[in-house]
């Protein structure tokens, strides 16, 4: 990638980044009945709105949350089935005399809430923040309800292990805010559960229980903070690669605040090392050494956005090598490649700092000139035309190589002028060719009228 007299990696403008879980894409197959419930049963009405095809669309936060909840519904229902199976096995082996109706009610209520919320998510195709909070609250209530009615008080502390599992899933899939909310709910729920059995002369003592709860809160808080930080750093890495996929290599991984030599830091360092090479591979035309079309479009969008904010002029030059097909036919394609290479070198040497030079076709080049009026662009275009005319190209030294140039310059009022600049530069280029080639033509409204007339005449002749 080439910017005349500048780094091959330009600065990027601000960009909106979706949160981490908005990019999650999970694929699951063959989940049986509950998967059918989540993704659409053959017996359900066709009017239901399943989630979008996750392999081809970018999810919103609500859609990503919906996908996660549908997948997690299998885990929740499996957990409820496990609890019911354990209770049945204990009863059958006479390990317990009976199963309380409260335990049965807790399992049934949890299954009912999970199924209803799963059906809601499947119908709407998304899960709002309220739905996520509701299902996490149901998880916590179920754990404490089963613990409170099915285990003796001296084993109540084990419920904190299940609480930590809930907190882990909340942080991993839904983020730090949900995890902090789950931690508060777990603390409140545990205090409520042990309240009636804690105190002097009772099964549990407050000092011991509060100490156990403090250790849990300390461990859970440390997990949320450190794992949340890890996810944020990993998200920054993922964002850099997403930008690279779009051809944007302007931002590097910030190592100034990365003091931990862990895997994320190592990946960030590796990205920074190959960033310039990747930019050259993706955005540069290998034959001419100039930007390719993708690189040009990227720079055009940035420059037009900047010019729209400042109200400055932008000029665009469209350039063709005259009779390039004849050069290939008469002197061979190797000679034609040499002409392209040397024209690219000439353009880059003449371009000013901040100008962008791109090869956009076989013998077509485009120059982007920021903050340049029509008069300034004309002077530069004339220098280009004269430099090419005076240059002696190896392999075709007996042939005079020339270029035709179309020029347009305009004040940028908004970013939507991009298409107009391209079409106007092309119209001016065609005018230069029609006038005999080896010249510079400046776009005027009359050129567009002539282009429309010419097109109408061609259509009439074809008819």
**HSE value, Cβ hemisphere, 13 Å, CA-based, for 6:** 16
The residue out of 237, 255, 277 marking a domain boundary is: 237
183 and 304 part of one domain: no
pLDDT at 245 (0 to 100): 74
Q: How many CB atoms lie within 10 A of CB 134?
A: 16
376 and 450 part of one domain: yes
Please check whether residue 136 lies inside any domain of the structure: yes
Q: How many CB atoms lie within 10 A of CB 347?
A: 27
**Phi then psi dihedrals of residue 346, to 5 deg:** -60, -45
228 and 366 part of one domain: no
The residue out of 199, 216, 237 marking a domain boundary is: 237
Please check whether residue 267 lies inside any domain of the structure: no
451 and 350 part of one domain: yes
The rounded distance, in Å, linking the Cα atoms of 120 and 48 is 10
Please check whether residue 254 lies inside any domain of the structure: no
Please check whether residue 223 lies inside any domain of the structure: yes
Q: How many CB atoms lie within 10 A of CB 89?
A: 11
Please check whether residue 192 lies inside any domain of the structure: yes
324 and 233 part of one domain: no
Please check whether residue 287 lies inside any domain of the structure: no
Whether the Cβ atoms of residue 1 and residue 348 lie closer than 8 Å to each other? no
210 and 340 part of one domain: no
pLDDT at 5 (0 to 100): 39
58 and 168 part of one domain: yes
pLDDT at 301 (0 to 100): 86
Structurally, the chain folds into a number of domains equal to 2
pLDDT at 12 (0 to 100): 42
pTM for this model (two decimals): 0.55
Order the strands of the 440-442 sheet from edge to edge.
356-359, 364-370, 313-321, 403-411, 440-442
pLDDT at 17 (0 to 100): 43
300 and 379 part of one domain: yes
The rounded distance, in Å, linking the Cα atoms of 25 and 229 is 21
211 and 333 part of one domain: no
Provide the residue range defining the domain that includes 385: 293-462
64 and 155 part of one domain: yes
225 and 360 part of one domain: no
Nearest CA among 218, 125, 136, 123 for reference residue 173: 136
**Phi then psi dihedrals of residue 410, to 5 deg:** -155, 155
The rounded distance, in Å, linking the Cα atoms of 387 and 343 is 9
Please check whether residue 256 lies inside any domain of the structure: no
User: What are the per-10-residue average pLDDT scores of the chain (463 residues)?
Assistant: 42 42 39 41 41 56 90 90 85 74 88 93 91 93 88 87 91 90 93 82 81 93 88 83 75 74 79 77 87 88 86 91 89 88 94 91 93 92 94 78 93 79 91 91 73 51 58
Please check whether residue 262 lies inside any domain of the structure: no
CATH number of the domain encompassing residue 318: 3.30.70.270
Burial class (CB in 10 A: 0-12, 13-18, 19+), 339: buried
48 and 163 part of one domain: yes
pLDDT at 58 (0 to 100): 60
Q: Which residues contact 427 (CB under 8 A, 6 or more apart)?
A: 406, 443, 447, 448, 451
């Amino acid at each position: 990638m080439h910017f005349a007299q500048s780094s091959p990696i330009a600065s990027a403008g601000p960009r909106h980044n979706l949160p981490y879980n908005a990019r999650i894409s999970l694929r699951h197959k063959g989940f049986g009945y509950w998967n059918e419930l989540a993704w659409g049963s053959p017996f359900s009405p066709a009017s239901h709105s399943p989630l979008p095809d996750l392999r081809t669309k970018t999810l919103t936060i609500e859609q990503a949350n919906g996908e996660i909840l549908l997948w997690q519904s299998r885990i929740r229902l499996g957990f409820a089935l496990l609890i019911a199976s354990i209770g049945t096995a204990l009863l059958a082996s006479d390990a317990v005399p009976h199963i309380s109706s409260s335990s049965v009610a807790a399992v049934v209520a949890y299954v009912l809430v999970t199924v209803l919320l799963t059906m809601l998510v499947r119908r709407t195709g998304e899960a709002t923040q309220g739905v996520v909070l509701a299902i996490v609250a149901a998880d916590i209530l179920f754990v404490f309800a089963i613990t409170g009615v099915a285990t003796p008080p001296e084993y109540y502390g084990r419920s904190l292990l299940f609480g930590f599992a809930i907190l882990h899933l909340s942080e991993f899939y839904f983020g730090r805010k949900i995890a902090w909310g789950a931690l508060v709910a777990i603390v409140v729920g545990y205090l409520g559960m042990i309240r009636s059995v804690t105190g002097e002369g009772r099964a549990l003592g407050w000092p011991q229980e509060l100490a156990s709860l403090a250790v849990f809160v300390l461990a859970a808080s440390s997990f949320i903070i450190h794992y949340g930080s890890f996810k944020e750093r990993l998200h920054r890495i993922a964002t850099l690669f997403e930008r690279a996929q779009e051809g944007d290599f302007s931002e590097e991984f910030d190592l100034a605040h990365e003091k931990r030599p862990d895997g994320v830091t190592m990946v960030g360092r590796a990205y920074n090392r190959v960033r310039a090479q990747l930019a050259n591979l993706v955005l540069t035309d290998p034959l001419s050494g100039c930007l390719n079309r993708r690189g040009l479009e990227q720079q055009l969008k940035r420059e037009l956005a900047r010019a729209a904010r400042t109200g400055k002029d932008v000029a665009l030059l469209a350039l063709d090598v005259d009779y390039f097909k004849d050069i290939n036919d008469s002197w061979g394609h190797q000679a034609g490649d040499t002409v392209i290479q040397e024209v690219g070198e000439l353009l880059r040497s003449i371009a000013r700092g901040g100008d962008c030079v791109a090869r956009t076709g076989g013998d077509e080049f485009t120059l982007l000139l920021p903050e340049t009026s029509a008069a300034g662009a004309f002077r530069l275009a004339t220098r280009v035309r004269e430099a090419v005319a005076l240059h002696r190209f190896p392999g075709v030294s007996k042939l005079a190589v020339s270029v035709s140039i179309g020029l347009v310059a305009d004040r940028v009022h908004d970013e939507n002028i991009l298409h107009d600049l391209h079409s106007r530069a092309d119209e001016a280029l065609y005018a230069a060719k029609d006038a005999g080639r080896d010249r510079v033509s400046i776009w005027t409204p009359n050129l567009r009228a002539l282009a429309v007339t010419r097109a109408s005449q061609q259509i009439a002749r074809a008819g």
